[in-house]
Structure 1
Amino acid sequence: MQINPYLFILPRTPGQIVWDYKNHKQFELNLEYSTRLAQLIHNPELYNDSNIVDTQLLNCGILTTSIQDSIEWGWDELSKIFHIGTKNIPCEHVPQDIHEWSRYYLDHCTEVLEAPAPDARLTERQARDLIALPKPSCLPEGSLANVLIGRKTCRTFTDEAVSLEDVGTLLYLSLGYLHERENDVDETIVEGLGARRSSPSGGGLNACEGFLHVQNVSGLNPGFYAYHPTDHALSFVNPAPDSPLGQLLCGQHFINNLPAGLFITARFDKLWWKYEHSRAYRMAFVEAGHISQTFQLVATALGLNTWLTGALTDDQVETLLGLENNAEQPLFFVGCGHSDGQVMCKELKDLLSSREPQQ
């Protein structure tokens, strides 16, 4: 008999809460159950299948009959609990098609809007005299400012292919090691940390990497590819699954025909190597955000529209990327393609119209 390794315990007088953070379950234990659990933690061999408390602890997953493999983790338990506990978003049912997703999403939005909105931010409530700023001057054609203004999240994409040239440009300017900056490296930088990307990276580690999801890219077969920034090249990892892309992204089926996307991963072992404190875990998400925004701006400059999400079915994605029980983990997804620029898919628009009160 073993104790489930994915537990943490919160004291909540008069009992305690045992939280199975991997499986998103929590249990409230009274003194009898808490005492018995403490005995079994001290010596799991005391388990007695004639003891109803023991069998209930086993049936609910606090105890387990098998030794479970756990991911190597270089920081303290707090960051491990957060990372594993926020994987595989718990939901009673994953939408199986675009119509089902539209109903679920609209119901969720309706429920949210029925609750009072948060108050205005503190600084707005406390502000007295405001200092007006000059309006932006006329923006030159093709400027970064125009790209920033033009970027928006779209939820309708056509079946038109993305060119391999555009994909190469996207990956090089988002994740590639820029050859143009090779002479701009300080001689004091340690060997191995001299590579430079277009986005900043905590400690110069370039701890984020990328896997390209190909559905319709000229010159590439559908599937998953690892991007190698040193060589500016791809390697094939796995073919595309039979299920649509939306199944990997928590039922967001409006994105099923997205021609190309990037799963942004984090190399936690690189971060552990330099930063021993788990505050560095925050930097993985900061870096992923930088890369995501760069990807979107480059795509916009190329005339493509973009979409992004942090809602992943983590276990399935890890398997397809070949990252099970690995110190490299997927954090985010951003994709691009040709679009009519709509921020709301047709199915959701139709459903919204059908629910509007008739005049």
Structure 2
Amino acid sequence: MYINPYLFILPRSPGQIVWNYKDHTQHELDLNYASRLTQLINNPDLFDTHNIIDTQLLNAGILTVSKIDNPHWGWDELSKIYHIGTQNIPCEYTPQNVHEWSRQYLAHCTEVLATSAPAKNRPRCEAAHRIELPDPGDLRDDSLINALRQRKTCRSYTGVAMTLNDVSTLLYLTLGYLRERDTDDDSIAEELGARRSSPSGGGLNACEGFLLVQNVDDIPPGIYAYHPDEHAISRVNPLPKSVLGQLLGGQHFINNLPLGLFITARFDRLWWKYGHSRAYRMAFVEAGHLSQTFQLVATALGLNTWLTGAFADEQVETHLKLEGSAEQPLFFVGCGKSDGQAMCQEMRDLLCEVQA
């Protein structure tokens, strides 16, 4: 007898939950079942066909008659649980043609829209605390081709201030609800009507943005929430007392970056439409889309960019006032004037010293 290798045990007093993260099944065990499972984990040969608990554990797939191959995984168990646990969307019936898919998807959307949707926008801020951004500027017709060719990650910034107009253009084309697309498609439900320049899973626009302003004309330094429906920002907190690099995994070459954007995910929006944990992947996919859009727009504006997923989550949550909420930071991207170097001067000096 063998123990299923794809089990994850969660303590839930007065018992425990055994979750088979590969098959997406879970079982609640009381003290008797949990104690017996512990014995069998210690020694599977204790399995007794006359013990009803043993047979029920076998029937539940917690125990297996034959050994299940457990492929080598090069990272830790947590990443393996996440990857396998979000695979294979459960589907009772796979549509056989586009007509069946249309009916099935419409039924799903109708069921979702019958429930209360999470708030689409941030709470409206009082006019006194809101900074309305100017209209975004136009980019040259050939700017996309040039931006794709010129975009690069830079780690050496001059600290020169950015203009308010550039910030407005960046935010509108990255996270803004595009006014130009207000009449795009009259078949879209009102709750899902807002459109950005980047794709979003289910049209939910589950990602949001917080600006970290260090040196921007006409915007006092601080952390600001972006309101895409109003194309405005509101102050959330002052800048952290420690330098930016302390917050971003010790990457101090970025301390004088004039502008940064924390991309967050509103998990409650994803939970509302998609009940399966696979939707968690879509939050990161959407953050990636937005990050690339930000970088391309910044490059088209003549700025260089830098990005990272290395930051102190709990500290960032505190600075963004997101502690304990369903909105969480996923990624950081910033921009400013740079000398165009991929490495900071300190790293270049170190490389020269090592190679000497």
TM-score normalised by L of structure 1 = 0.61
- Which amino acid is 1:324 matched to? E
Task: For 1:201-280, list aligned pairs within 5 A.
Answer: 201-280=200-279
* Equivalent position of 1:88 in the other structure: none
Instruction: Give the Cα–Cα distance (whole angstroms) in 2 for the partners of residues 269 and 215 of structure 1.
Output: 30
Question: Structure 1 residues 253, 194: CA separation in 2 closer, same or farther (over 3 Å shift)?
Answer: same
Task: Say which SS state the counterpart of residue 219 (structure 2) adopts.
Answer: coil
- Which amino acid is 2:190 matched to? E
Deviation of 1:37 (Å)? 11
Task: Say which SS state the counterpart of residue 251 (structure 1) adopts.
Answer: coil
* Equivalent position of 2:159 in the other structure: 159
Instruction: Give the Cα–Cα distance (whole angstroms) in 2 for the partners of residues 283 and 328 of structure 1.
Output: 14
* Equivalent position of 2:171 in the other structure: 171
Tell me whether 1:188 sits opposite 2:187 in the alignment: yes
Deviation of 1:230 (Å)? 0.2
Deviation of 1:222 (Å)? 1.0
Deviation of 1:142 (Å)? 3.0
- Which amino acid is 1:210 matched to? G
Tell me whether 1:346 sits opposite 2:336 in the alignment: no
Instruction: Give the Cα–Cα distance (whole angstroms) in 1 for the partners of residues 215 and 263 of structure 2.
Output: 19
CA RMSD of aligned residues (A): 2.5
Tell me whether 1:331 sits opposite 2:302 in the alignment: no
* Equivalent position of 1:115 in the other structure: none
- Which amino acid is 2:194 matched to? A
Q: Percent identity?
A: 73
Task: For 1:30-69, list aligned pairs within 5 A.
Answer: none
Instruction: Give the Cα–Cα distance (whole angstroms) in 2 for the partners of residues 235 and 36 of structure 1.
Output: 56
Task: Say which SS state the counterpart of residue 284 (structure 2) adopts.
Answer: helix
1:52-108 CA-to-partner distances (Å, cap 9, x unmatched) read: xxxxxxxxxxxxxxxxxxxxxxxxxx99x759xxxxxxxxxxxxxxxxxxxxxxxxx
Instruction: Give the Cα–Cα distance (whole angstroms) in 1 for the partners of residues 235 and 303 of structure 2.
Output: 24
Deviation of 1:145 (Å)? 1.5
- Which amino acid is 1:312 matched to? F
* Equivalent position of 2:303 in the other structure: 304
1:84-139 CA-to-partner distances (Å, cap 9, x unmatched) read: xxxxxxxxxxxxxxxxxxxxxxxxxxxxxxxxxxxxxxxxxxxxxxxxxxxxxxxx
Instruction: Give the Cα–Cα distance (whole angstroms) in 2 for the partners of residues 347 and 178 of structure 1.
Output: 41
* Equivalent position of 2:69 in the other structure: none
Deviation of 1:187 (Å)? 2.0
1:212-244 CA-to-partner distances (Å, cap 9, x unmatched) read: 000001111111000000000001000001101
Deviation of 1:256 (Å)? 0.4
Structure 1 unaligned blocks of 5 or more:
1-6, 11-33, 40-77, 84-139
Instruction: Give the Cα–Cα distance (whole angstroms) in 2 for the partners of residues 179 and 282 of structure 1.
Output: 28
- Which amino acid is 2:182 matched to? E
Instruction: Give the Cα–Cα distance (whole angstroms) in 2 for the partners of residues 303 and 168 of structure 1.
Output: 15
Task: Say which SS state the counterpart of residue 350 (structure 2) adopts.
Answer: helix
Task: Say which SS state the counterpart of residue 223 (structure 2) adopts.
Answer: strand
* Equivalent position of 1:290 in the other structure: 289
1:301-357 CA-to-partner distances (Å, cap 9, x unmatched) read: 10000000011110000000000111000000000000010000000111111111x
- Which amino acid is 1:177 matched to? Y
* Equivalent position of 1:55 in the other structure: none
Task: Say which SS state the counterpart of residue 353 (structure 2) adopts.
Answer: helix
Aligned 8 A contact 2:143 2:300 in 1: no
Deviation of 1:146 (Å)? 1.5
Instruction: Give the Cα–Cα distance (whole angstroms) in 1 for the partners of residues 244 and 37 of structure 2.
Output: 43
Instruction: Give the Cα–Cα distance (whole angstroms) in 2 for the partners of residues 303 and 167 of structure 1.
Output: 12
Instruction: Give the Cα–Cα distance (whole angstroms) in 2 for the partners of residues 36 and 355 of structure 1.
Output: 59
Tell me the number of residue pairs that the alignment of Structure 1 and Structure 2 aligns: 232
Question: Structure 1 residues 180, 332: CA separation in 2 closer, same or farther (over 3 Å shift)?
Answer: same
Task: For 1:125-136, list aligned pairs within 5 A.
Answer: none
- Which amino acid is 2:328 matched to? Q
TM-score normalised by L of structure 2 = 0.62
- Which amino acid is 1:214 matched to? V
Task: Say which SS state the counterpart of residue 209 (structure 1) adopts.
Answer: strand
Task: Say which SS state the counterpart of residue 160 (structure 1) adopts.
Answer: coil
Instruction: Give the Cα–Cα distance (whole angstroms) in 2 for the partners of residues 36 and 322 of structure 1.
Output: 45
* Equivalent position of 1:146 in the other structure: 146
Question: Structure 1 residues 254, 318: CA separation in 2 closer, same or farther (over 3 Å shift)?
Answer: same
Task: For 1:105-144, list aligned pairs within 5 A.
Answer: 142-144=142-144
- Which amino acid is 1:162 matched to? M
Structure 2 unaligned blocks of 5 or more:
1-6, 11-33, 40-77, 84-139
Instruction: Give the Cα–Cα distance (whole angstroms) in 2 for the partners of residues 310 and 253 of structure 1.
Output: 15
